[in-house]
Structure 1
Amino acid sequence: MSNLYVEVDDEALNEAAEILGTRTKKDTVNAALLEVAKRRRRLKALEELAAMGERGDFDLLLDKENYRR
Structure 2
Amino acid sequence: MTVNLQIDEVLIQEALALSNQQTEHDVVEQALREYVQRRQQMKILDLFGTIDYDDDYNYKQQRHKQ
TM-score (norm 2): 0.67
Deviations 1:6-49 (A, max 9, x none): 2111111122233342110000011111111000001111221x
The alpha-carbon distance between structure 1 residues 4 and 66, as it changes in their structure 2 partners (threshold 3 A), is farther
Task: Quote the residue 1:31 is aligned against.
Answer: 30
Give the corresponding residue for 1:65.
Answer: 60
Q: How big is the alpha-carbon RMSD for the aligned residues of Structure 1 and Structure 2?
A: 2.9
| 8 A Cα contact 1:20 1:32, kept in partner | no
Counterpart check, 1:51 vs 2:49? yes
Structure 2 unaligned segments of length 5 or more: list them.
Answer: none
Give the whole-Å Cα distance in 2 for the aligned partners of 1:8 and 1:21: 19
Q: Whose Rg is larger?
A: 2
Scaled by the length of structure 1, the TM-score of the pair is 0.65
Per the alignment, residue 11 of structure 2 pairs with 12
The share of aligned pairs that are identical, in percent, is 24
Higher mean C-alpha deviation, range 35-44 or range 11-20: 11-20
Segments of structure 1 that go 5 or more residues without pairing to the other structure are none
8 Å Cα contact 1:20/1:28 also seen in 2: yes
CA distance in structure 2 between the aligned counterparts of 1:31 and 1:67, rounded to whole angstroms = 44
Greater fraction helix:
1
Inter-partner Cα distance in structure 1 for 2:9 and 2:62: 52
